Amino acid sequence: MDEVTRQKATPNEVDRALAHLDPDAGRPSNVVDVRSLSLQFGAKTVISDVTIPFERGTITALIGPTGSGKSTFLRTLNRMNDRVVGFRHEGEVLLDNESIWSSSQDLLSLRRRVGMLFQRPNPFPMSIKDNVVAGVKAHGIAKGRELDVVAETRLREVGLWNAVKDRLNDSPYRLSGGQQQLLCLARALAVGPEVLLLDEPTSALDPLSTEAVENLLRTLVPALTLIVVTHNLGQARRVSDRTMFFYEGRLVEHGPTPALFESPRDPDTARYVNGLMG
Amino acid sequence: MTVPSTPRSATPVARDPRATGVRRHRREDRAWRIGGRLATILPIVGFAFVMIVLAVKAWPAFRVSGLGFITHSAWQPGNTYGGTQRVHGVLIPQGATYGAWPMLLGTLQTSAIALLVALPISIGTAFALTERLPKWLSAPLGFFVEILAGVPSVIIGLWGVLVLGPFLSRDVYPIVANHLPNVPVLRYFRGSVGYGEGLLTSGLVLGLMIVPVIASTTRDLFLQVPPLPKEGALALGMTDAEVARRVTIPWVRSGIIGATVLGLGRALGETIAVAMVSGSVLGTVAPNVYGTMTTIAATIVTQLDSAATDGTGFAVATLAEAGLVLAIISVVVNLLARTIVRRAGRMAAPVGRA
Ligand SMILES: Nc1ncnc2c1ncn2[C@@H]1O[C@H](COP(=O)(O)OP(=O)(O)OP(=O)(O)O)[C@@H](O)[C@H]1O
Ligand SMILES: [Mg+2]
């Protein structure tokens, strides 16, 4: 019998081998890259000259006082603002190195890749199960009996399966607010997004539901990249890797969450994270 | 086990029913309750009264022909100036016989066509008014729909018989009639197209008349749909059409059904416009979709004068019976709609939610 001699793989070979395992290999490490972005509604500038990369597989929190442009910034990333009358943008938003406004970018598949969860739960007027698979059906990702599997998988993923498995065909509006929000999360996850935008996802929920959603968000990385707008500074500290502080349309400061909260460089940031600003 | 007794009232003054404020409240409460009950009962009483009067008037005719009235087709007033005969104890003109089947069928057919035409147009219009068009365009369009709702039916009937009917029978119907294959259902659209008065023209005119009814209600319903679920659907990568089909319309489905029933009620009961464009032919079922015919409502209004010349009163009793049939159809339609609404309501969102 031959002696098996094991040779060490060169770093290059490791990379190549891993490339087959890691679907993200070869892609830019910044899944979303915002460059010199300015946003206006009519004559009013809501976001001025923001440049910020979002690293793949991380959670970024967007904080800032009310009216500072957080929602506007977030809703631009999946082009929800495009149809707002008077909306204009300068600068670029790159998704995997391609501009989200480039002509080769299909709006519908862009929104499939960049999902969104809203401030209040917004289930569709259809059964619980149909809610989960609504996007899957629209994109033709699955059909027939596969839909049942998708529904179960996603409901399990958000921890809702046991609560709703006996009433999949019932109206979603009889679920509690927290359950409805989890349902909407399941619906957003079902189409397999790469990025998930969350605009104050727990502001309408009680503390327990909030905790459930927060815990869930941590399980979604590094498979997904999350960008979360929140007024809840505790939430930002608990869930996010990085934090961005917006003030009057400017990105005043950003950095690793602990650093930004414990040793803010900017006086406005310091006032805000210490609860001294509105 | 003993239940600890608690003092029944800590503040006796506030609990005293003779305190004037409380008493006035009680009296107002009662007035509201009684008023509310009256308001619910009055329409029912009124409707029952109408039905009873109709039934009494129709009774002789019902005794003569029984249920055969709605299955037979002949429509003969008999010899109004000649002899009379007695059938089942009722005095009727010699040779008089009435069957309402063709007009009953005509009523259902024209209303069905009207709905098929009006529903998509109305929903499309409502969408145009609420979702897609800029304000400077949607405002006049909304105004136009409201104006159309106010046009008297005799004007629409006149337009139908002078403009629409001739145009359709000359430029549209022949193309359809000559190109459709000879297969079931479509066969009904082949053959002679006539001169523009008939079943299809009536249905189309009725459809036009009920578009404003359905469209204006549907527009108001769409305006009530909150933006958040629609945004959710867009953010999921749905097209506008998918958002409409999966979110907006289902959100107000029961309201749309209600609006449709309102329109259907108008189509079933429309008299003068149908009398003008249907050809007003009694006693025969239209051979194809272009054929002349009539409806119950149109018959009642066009035949009332000559019926009054029937000295035995049989002709008038017959028209009353026809009216009763129409009233029953309307009630059945309403009940059906209610059932559908209850079904649709199972998934519906509470209005104003989200
Ligand atoms: N559709 C619009 N048209 C005009 N101005 C708008 C529109 N949407 C937002 N704005 C303005 O843009 C500014 C930023 O609003 P935005 O909703 O982004 O703030 P925010 O940081 O999300 O606030 P909040 O914390 O209260 O949600 C506000 O002054 C707002 O009035
Ligand atoms: Mg906001």
Place of tokens 């401030």: A119
A41 touches B at CB < 8 Å: no
Mean pLDDT of B240-265: 91
B346 touches A at CB < 8 Å: yes
Average pLDDT of chain B is: 87
Q: Three-class SS of residue A145?
A: coil
* Interchain pair B251, A125: CB under 8 A: yes
Q: Which tens digit of pLDDT belongs to each residue from A80-115?
A: 999 898 999 999 999 999 999 999 999 999 999 999
Whether B24 shows a pLDDT value over 80: the answer reads: no
* Interchain pair A122, B234: CB under 8 A: no
Q: Which of B229, B235, B237 sits opposite A124 (nearest CB)?
A: B229
Mean pLDDT of A206-218: 91
Query: Counting one residue from A and one from B, how many pairs have CB atoms under 8 Å apart?
Result: 82
Angle at B161 between CA B156 and CA B162, to 5 degrees: 95
Whether B227 shows a pLDDT value over 80: the answer reads: yes
Task: Judge whether B184 and B158 are in contact, CB under 8 Å.
Answer: no
The reported pLDDT for the residue numbered A265 is 93
Whether B13 shows a pLDDT value over 50: the answer reads: no
Closest atom of ligand 1 to A81 CA is 1
Whether B248 shows a pLDDT value over 90: the answer reads: yes
Task: Judge whether A256 and A237 are in contact, CB under 8 Å.
Answer: no
Residue with the nearest Cα to atom 28 of ligand 1?
A67
Q: Whole-angstrom Cα distance, residue B305 to residue B152?
A: 23
Mean pLDDT of B292-308: 94
Q: Which of B234, B239, B349 sits opposite A80 (nearest CB)?
A: B234
Q: Which tens digit of pLDDT belongs to each residue from B155-169?
A: 999 999 999 999 999
Residue B75's DSSP bridge partners are B98
* Interchain pair B246, A135: CB under 8 A: no
Which chain B residues in 78-117 lie under 8 Å from chain A, judged by CB atoms?
none
Q: Which residues of B touch A116 (CB under 8 A)?
A: 232, 235-236
Pairing of strands A114-117, A195-199: parallel
Residue with the nearest Cα to atom 25 of ligand 1?
A66
Which chain A residues in 171-200 lie under 8 Å from chain B, judged by CB atoms?
171, 173, 184, 187-188, 191
What is the spatial order of strands in the sheet that A30-41 belongs to?
A44-55, A30-41, A87-95, A98-99
Place A261 in a pLDDT band, splitting at 50, 70 and 90. Answer: very high
The phi and psi torsions of A225 (rounded to 5 degrees) equal: -115, 130
Q: Three-class SS of residue B13?
A: helix
Nearest-ligand number for the alpha carbon of A42: 1
Q: Which residues of B touch A112 (CB under 8 A)?
A: 236-237
Mean pLDDT of A217-240: 94
* Interchain pair A138, B238: CB under 8 A: yes
B263 φ/ψ sector (left φ>0, alpha ψ -120 to 50, else beta): alpha
Task: Judge whether A54 and A225 are in contact, CB under 8 Å.
Answer: yes
Pairing of strands A225-229, A59-63: parallel
What's the gap in Å between A114 CA and the centre of ligand 2?
Answer: 18
The reported pLDDT for the residue numbered B27 is 80
Q: How far is A214 from chain B (nearest CA, A)?
A: 20
Place B19 in a pLDDT band, splitting at 50, 70 and 90. Answer: low
Lining residues, ligand 1, CB within 6 Å: A 41, 44, 46, 64, 66-72, 84
The reported pLDDT for the residue numbered B30 is 87
Place of tokens 């007695």: B86
The single-letter DSSP state of residue A105 is -
> Which H or E run includes B35?
helix B20-65
Q: Which residues of B touch A122 (CB under 8 A)?
A: 228-229, 231-232, 354
What number of residues does chain B have? 354
Whether B349 shows a pLDDT value over 90: the answer reads: no
Place A228 in a pLDDT band, splitting at 50, 70 and 90. Answer: very high
Task: Judge whether B287 and B274 are in contact, CB under 8 Å.
Answer: no
**Structural fold of domain A3-26+54-76+105-273:** Rossmann fold (3.40.50)
The reported pLDDT for the residue numbered A135 is 94
Catalogue all structural domains in chain B, each as residue range(s) with its CATH number.
Answer: 106-345 (1.10.3720.10)
DSSP result, B99-163: --HHHHHHHHHHHHHHHHHHHHHHHHHHHIIIIIS-HHHHHHHHHHHHHHHHS-HHHHHHHIIII
Whether A1 shows a pLDDT value over 70: the answer reads: no
Longest Cα–Cα distance of chain A, Å, equals 81
Q: What is the 3-state secondary structure (H, E, C) of B234-303?
A: HHCCCCHHHHHHHHHHHHCHHHHHHHHHHHHHHHHHCCHHHHHHCECCCCCCCCCCCCCECCHHHHHHHH
- The nearest alpha carbon in chain B to A107 belongs to B237
Whether B22 shows a pLDDT value over 70: the answer reads: no
Closest atom of ligand 1 to A229 CA is 22
Residue whose CB lies within 8 A of the most ligand 1 atoms, among A39, A62, A68, A277, for a mutation test: A68
Q: How far is A177 from chain B (nearest CA, A)?
A: 10
Place of tokens 């009694």: B282
- The nearest alpha carbon in chain B to A189 belongs to B236
Q: Which tens digit of pLDDT belongs to each residue from B75-119?
A: 988 886 778 888 888 888 888 899 999 999 999 999 999 999 999
* Interchain pair A111, B237: CB under 8 A: yes
Mean pLDDT of A33-38: 95
Which of the residues B236, B238, B251 would you substitute to probe the A interface, choosing the one with the greatest number of A C-beta atoms within 10 Å? B236
Domain boundaries along the sequence of chain A? 3-26+54-76+105-273
Q: Which tens digit of pLDDT belongs to each residue from A166-179?
A: 999 999 999 999 99
Place A129 in a pLDDT band, splitting at 50, 70 and 90. Answer: very high
User: Does residue B131 or residue B106 have the better pLDDT?
Assistant: B106
The reported pLDDT for the residue numbered A19 is 60
Q: Which tens digit of pLDDT belongs to each residue from B26-42?
A: 788 888 888 888 888 99
Whether A63 shows a pLDDT value over 80: the answer reads: yes
Q: Three-class SS of residue B308?
A: coil
- The nearest alpha carbon in chain B to A174 belongs to B349
Within its chain, how far is the Cα of A84 from the centroid?
A: 21
The phi and psi torsions of A36 (rounded to 5 degrees) equal: 45, 50
Q: How far is B116 from chain A (nearest CA, A)?
A: 25
What's the gap in Å between B113 CA and the centre of ligand 2?
Answer: 49
The single-letter DSSP state of residue B72 is -
